[in-house]
Chain A
C-alpha cells in the first residue's frame, strides 16, 4: 500500500479518535480505557496473518505465541468491559432492583 494513502488514513483516524473520545463522560473513563484496550487486541488479525504464512516451525511458534497474547487481549478486554458496563445500567426506581443486581 502506498505510504501517502496510509498517512491519510492515520491522520483522519487521529481526528476521529479525538472527536469521539472527548465526548466520553468522566464517569466512564475506566470502561473507556478497558474498551480501547480491547480494540487494540485486533492485532490478533495481524498475528493470524503471520502465523498463516510461517513455514519454519520456530517462527510459527513465535507467531502462535502472538496469537495467544492477542486473543487474551481481545477477548479479555471485551468481556471485562461488558462486565463493568453492566453495572452502569440505568435503574428505574432507586433500590428497586437491588436484589437481582446483587448476584
Chain B
C-alpha cells in the first residue's frame, strides 16, 4: 500500500530531525542563521512528503486543500506583519501549533491501547490546550485587546486549585475509560486553565510567557509523538521544549526574577502591578535643539532604546540620527538590555530592520563598563532597565534586576512620553539627577525634530 518501507520512513525522518538541529545550530551566528532556517524548512518539507508516502493516507484531496488553506492564511500575514508586532505573531503561531497537537492527541485516543500511551494523550491535550488559550490571551494583551495590567479576582488561587483537581480527575477517567466525553471535558479544562494562567501576568512579563508557552507547545508535540509512535515528532518537540525552557530561564534571570514568581506573582499580589502615582518633584526639561547640540558635540553617545521607541515606530529615525552623528565623527553605539522590547531579542530585530548594523549593538555586560567614558546616554522609551532602584533599594519590585548603568555617563537625556513610571510602576531616581534632562513627547516626533536640528547645525 505504502511506497516507503518503515525503515526508509525512519531514515527520512532522521534526516529531517538533523535538519531541525542544524536550523537551531545555525542561529549561533547571524552569518549562518538564515541558511540554517532554510535547512529547517527543507527538513519540514521532506517530512511532510515522507508522511504521504509512508502510510496509507485516505482523504488526500481534503488534506491537500487544508494545507493550502493554512498556507494561504499564514504566508501573507508573515510577509506583511510589522516587526513591532512580531511577538503577537509568534504567540499566535505558537498557539495554533499547540491547538493542533491537542486535537491530534484527542483523535488518536481511540487507537492508543496501552495506559502509558493514554497518559501521553492526556498530557498532550492538556498542555496543547493551555498553550492554545494562553497564547490567545497573550496575543490579546500584546495587541491591546485585553488590558496588559494583571487581571486578578479574589479566589483566583482557589479556582486554579480546583481546575488542577478537575483536570487530574478528568485525565484519570480518560486513561481508565478512553471515553470521548471525558476527553472533551479535559480539553475544555485545558483551555480555561491556559487563559487563567496568563490573565494575571503583567504586561512587562508577557515576553517570558510567550517563551514559556513556546516550550509548552514543544512538549505537547513531543508527547503527541509518543502517542503516534513518531520519533520525528518526539525529537522536534523535545528540541523546542528544551530551547524554550533555556530561553525562559535566561529571560527571567535577565529580569532578576524566578519563572514561578512571574506566573504566580499576581496570585500573591507581587507581580508587576505597580502604581501610577506621579511625583511633583522638579525635573530638568529640555528641547530638541538643545539635545541636538549636546549630541553633535559629544565624542561618544550611547543610545538605550526601549519598547517606547518601538511603539512610536521611531527605530528608523533613530537609525538615521545615529548615521548622521557618526558622519560628524561622533561614536554612537546602541546598548541593548536583554529584555528590551516585547520578546527576548526583540530590539535587535527592530534595529536590524532599521538597518543598524549589528556590530554597533552592545550587550549589557559589554557596554556597562563603557558608560564612564560616555558623554551622552540617550534613553529612548526605556525606564525600568535603567532604574538604579534595581541596585539601591532592596524593597523595590525590580531589585536585583541587572540594569544598564546610564547614570555613570556624563549627561543623560531621557526621551519620554510623560512622567508616568514604566511597567514596573517604580519611580526612577535618575530622572531627578542634576545631570539628567528630559525631553517629553512622542519618541518618533522628538527624534525627527532632533534629527532636523542636528542637520541644521
Could you list which residues of chain A lie within 8 angstroms of chain B, going by C-beta atoms?
1, 3, 6, 9-10, 13-14, 16-18, 20-55, 59-60, 62-91, 94-95, 98, 101-102
Contact = CB atoms under 8 A, between A and B. Distances in A.
B41 to A, nearest CB: 4
Interface in B18-41: 20-21, 23-25, 27-31, 33-34, 36-38, 40-41
Contacts of A10: 222, 234, 238
A42 B221 contact: yes
Contacts of A75: 70-71, 74-75, 78
A45 B233 contact: yes
A29 B226 CA distance: 29
A67 B32 CA distance: 31
Given A48-B57, A88-B30, 10 more contacts: A10-B222, A10-B234, A29-B338, A41-B97, A43-B97, A52-B55, A69-B97, A89-B30, A91-B357, A95-B323
B24 A28 contact: no
Contact of A33 (B108, B210, B222): B210
Of the four ranges (under 10, 10 to 19, 20 to 34, 35 or more), the interface on chain B belongs to: 35 or more
B94 interface: yes
Contacts of B29: 25
Contacts of A72: 70-71, 73-74, 93, 96
B34 A47 contact: no
B298 interface: no
B100 interface: yes
Contacts of B226: 6
B369 interface: no
A63 B241 CA distance: 24
A65 B107 CA distance: 12
B59 A52 contact: yes
Contacts of A22: 246
Contacts of A41: 44, 93, 97
Contacts of B47: 42, 45
A98 B355 contact: yes
B107 A76 contact: no
Contacts of A30: 86, 90, 341, 343-346, 348-349
Contact of B33 (A28, A98, A101): A28
Given A14-B238, A47-B104, A88-B352, A80 B86 contact: yes
26 contacts: A10-B238, A13-B234, A14-B238, A20-B21, A24-B28, A30-B90, A31-B33, A33-B210, A33-B214, A33-B244, A35-B27, A36-B239, A42-B16, A51-B57, A52-B58, A54-B59, A62-B106, A64-B59, A64-B66, A66-B103, A66-B104, A70-B97, A70-B100, A73-B74, A73-B93, A75-B74
A48 B30 CA distance: 34
B268 interface: no
Contacts of B344: 26, 29-30, 32-33
Contacts of A62: 103, 106-107
B330 to A, nearest CB: 14
Contacts of A44: 44, 48, 67, 100
B23 A37 contact: no
Contacts of B336: 27
Contact of B343 (A33, A54, A71, A98): A33
A79 B63 contact: no
B349 A84 contact: yes
Given A13-B235, A50-B104, A23 B44 contact: no
B217 interface: yes
A12 to B, nearest CB: 9
Contacts of B238: 9-10, 13-14, 17
B79 interface: yes
Contacts of B27: 24-25, 28, 31-32, 35
Contacts of A31: 27, 33, 37, 345, 349
